Amino acid sequence: MPFTGIEVLPPRFANLKQEIAASYPKFRERATQAWREVIAELQEATLEIAKAGSESIAQVNFADLHKLGEEEIEKIKRQGSVVIKDIVPDAEAIRWKQLLDEFVKTNPDAEGTPVNDKQFFQLYWTKSQVEARAHPNVLAACVWLNHLYHTKDGGVTEAVDLTTPLTYADRFRIRHPGIGWNDFPPHIDGECRDQACNYATDRCIGGAIERWEDPIFRECFSSILSGDWRSHDPYELDGRLNASNSRYGRPNQSSVFRTFQGWLALSEIAPTQGTLRVFPNVYLSNAYIILRPFFRPTVAAGSAGFLNPENWELGTHHAVVPGLFLIDPSLDISSSEYPGIYARDGGYTGPRLTPEVHPHLELEKTMISIPKVHPGDAVFWHCDVIHSVESEHTGTDDSAVIYIPAVPLTPINQAYIERQRETFLKSQRPPDFPKGPGEEAFAGIAGPDDVVAPIGRRAMGLPISV
C-alpha cells in the first residue's frame, strides 16, 4: 500500500495521546502556544536553510576537532550533522574501496541489491569494513561525537562511558552512476524498509512510535510536550540510555544506542552524486515532529493560509475512535494518527516526513545535500536528524561508503557487542540484521587477528592482545 503520510493506528494510540496530554499541566494552552512558536520559527529557519545550501553544513578537519570553538560546536549541535575531513588518509580509504571491489568480484554470490546490478551488500565482515571500523582515528572521531552528549546535570553517570567507543557492524554501498535510488525519502532512523532494500542507516536508535509511547524515551522530548520547547536538548543522555527504542522487536531496527549515525567515504562524493541530505536544525525538527500528532489544519491542504499557524488547532483528523476513553473530554485529541508513523512487520516504523503532512518543514527546499567529500572523510548525523538520499547519481564514478555510527559504552551496548562478537567469530550476520547466509564461504573476509589496535579490539569486544 503506498504511503500517504497518515495512517490510522490501533485505538490505543489515541488513548496514548490523551494520556500524554493529561500528564502535562495546561497542555491545550501550552502546546498550542509552542506549536505556533515553532511554526513561526520554522518559517524563518527554512528560508535561511534553503538559501545557505550545502556549503553551510559544518565541515571540520579531524586534526582540528579538539581546537573547535564554542560557536563551531554549537553550529554542529544545531545542525545535528557534520563532515569530519581526513579522518584516515585518502590512500587508505581508496585501498579499502579497491579491496571491496575485488571482494564482490571474487564472491559473485554475495547478496546485494539491486540483484542485477549489486550496489548495496549484505556483507559485514570484509577486511575493509573491519579495518575501517577499528581504525583508531575513526574511533577517536566517534568519541568526540559521543562527547557532544551530556547528562542533565552535567555530571558523570555510570550508565554510559562516552570515552570508550564500541563498534556496530553494518554494511557498505558502492553506488553506481546513473542508477536511481528512490527508496530513501526524508525520514528519521527507526524507519525500516523491506529487507530486499536495506539501507544501512535504517538501523536506528530513534524508534518510531516509541518516541511517544515509551515513557522513558518520551522524557527526551518532555520540554517540547510541556510547551517549553526552547529548552529541548537533543544531546541530553538521560532519557536515551534506557529508552525502549525497539518495543516491537522488528528486524532492521537497531537495539543499541548510537549518538550519531555515519558513513566513511571511500570515494569522492559531491552533491547530485547520490549523497546524503539532511534537514539541518535538529532542535526545530524535533519540536515540530513531536507536537505534530496533536494538531490539525482548519483549512484545506494547499489552500491560502494553510501554513499560517492561526489555521492549525489542537485536535484530531478523523472521527473519534470507537472505544476511546477520553481522559479529558475537553481535549479533542481522539485520533490514533501519528503523521509519518506507520505499521510494518508487526511493529511501527517512521517517522517518515512528507511535504503533505509536515508542510512547515518545506522539505522540498530544506533537505540539504552534504558538501563534497573525499576518500577518508566522514559524515555523521544525530540520531534524530531528518535525512534522505539523493535519488540521482549524476557523477561518473562510484559513490562508495562504509556505514559506521558512533556508539558509546553502555551496558545494553556492551551486551550487544558481545553477541555481535560471537557472530563475527563465526562470520555470521550481526544480531540486529536480517537473517541470511553468513560470509564464511567468501574469500577475503576478516578474522579477529585483523583487528590489531587495542582500541579497535576493545570496541569489538575482543581480548586486547592478539
**Shortest Cβ contact with Fe ion: which residue?**
201
Binding residue count for Fe ion, defined by CB under 5 A: 3
Q: Omega into 108 within 30° of 0, i.e. cis?
A: no
Q: Shortest CA distance to 421 belongs to which of 413, 430, 412?
A: 430
Q: How far is the CB of 190 from Fe ion (least distance, A)?
A: 8
Q: How far is the CB of 118 from Fe ion (least distance, A)?
A: 20
What is the distance between the alpha carbons of residues 170 and 322, in angstroms, rounded to a whole number? 43
What is the distance between the alpha carbons of residues 280 and 81, in angstroms, rounded to a whole number? 7
Within 238-267, which residues bind Fe ion (CB under 5 A)? none
Q: How far is the CB of 295 from Fe ion (least distance, A)?
A: 25
Q: How far is the CB of 5 from Fe ion (least distance, A)?
A: 17
Tell me whether residue 187 or residue 218 sits nearer to Fe ion (CB atom): 187
DSSP-assigned letters across all residues of 411-451:
HHHHHHHHHHHHHHHTTPPPTTSPP---STTSTTB--GGG-
What is the distance between the alpha carbons of residues 296 and 35, in angstroms, rounded to a whole number? 11
Length of the chain: 466
Q: How far is the CB of 198 from Fe ion (least distance, A)?
A: 11
Q: Would you state the cell numbers that stand for residue 103, as one nine-digit string? A: 571482494
Tell me whether residue 243 or residue 383 sits nearer to Fe ion (CB atom): 383
Within 407-436, which residues bind Fe ion (CB under 5 A)? none
Stretch that binds Fe ion, among 181-189, 206-214, 249-257, 281-289 (CB under 5 A): 181-189
Stretch that binds Fe ion, among 38-46, 58-66, 75-83, 186-194 (CB under 5 A): 186-194
Tell me whether residue 309 or residue 405 sits nearer to Fe ion (CB atom): 405
Q: How far is the CB of 343 from Fe ion (least distance, A)?
A: 19
The reply on whether position 201 binds Fe ion by CB under 5 A is: yes
Tell me whether residue 202 or residue 390 sits nearer to Fe ion (CB atom): 202
Q: How far is the CB of 261 from Fe ion (least distance, A)?
A: 7
DSSP-assigned letters across all residues of 353-403:
--TTTSGGG-HHHH-EEPPPB-TT-EEEEETT--EEE-S-B-SSS-EEEEE
Q: Omega into 437 within 30° of 0, i.e. cis?
A: no
What is the distance between the alpha carbons of residues 460 and 76, in angstroms, rounded to a whole number? 28
What is the distance between the alpha carbons of residues 287 and 290, in angstroms, rounded to a whole number? 5
Tell me whether residue 266 or residue 385 sits nearer to Fe ion (CB atom): 385
Tell me whether residue 201 or residue 423 sits nearer to Fe ion (CB atom): 201
Q: How far is the CB of 381 from Fe ion (least distance, A)?
A: 9
Q: What is the largest CA-CA distance in the chain?
A: 67
What is the distance between the alpha carbons of residues 62 and 332, in angstroms, rounded to a whole number? 51
Stretch that binds Fe ion, among 101-109, 198-206, 273-281, 350-358 (CB under 5 A): 198-206
Q: Which of 7, 41, 86, 189 binds Fe ion (CB under 5 A)?
A: 189
Stretch that binds Fe ion, among 52-60, 151-159, 182-190, 268-276 (CB under 5 A): 182-190
Stretch that binds Fe ion, among 96-104, 184-192, 275-283, 309-317 (CB under 5 A): 184-192
Tell me whether residue 18 or residue 354 sits nearer to Fe ion (CB atom): 354
Tell me whether residue 146 or residue 201 sits nearer to Fe ion (CB atom): 201
Tell me whether residue 202 or residue 337 sits nearer to Fe ion (CB atom): 202
SS3 292: helix
Stretch that binds Fe ion, among 82-90, 197-205, 241-249, 347-355 (CB under 5 A): 197-205
Q: How far is the CB of 405 from Fe ion (least distance, A)?
A: 11
Tell me whether residue 189 or residue 377 sits nearer to Fe ion (CB atom): 189
What is the distance between the alpha carbons of residues 199 and 388, in angstroms, rounded to a whole number? 11
Question: Distance from first CA to last CA of the chain, Å, rounded?
Answer: 51
Stretch that binds Fe ion, among 58-66, 94-102, 202-210, 269-277 (CB under 5 A): 202-210
Per-residue b or e along 324-341, where b marks 16 or more CB atoms closer than 10 Å to that residue's CB: beeeeeebbbbbbbbbbb
Query: Which spans of this chain sit near Fe ion (rule: CB under 5 A)?
Result: 189, 201-202
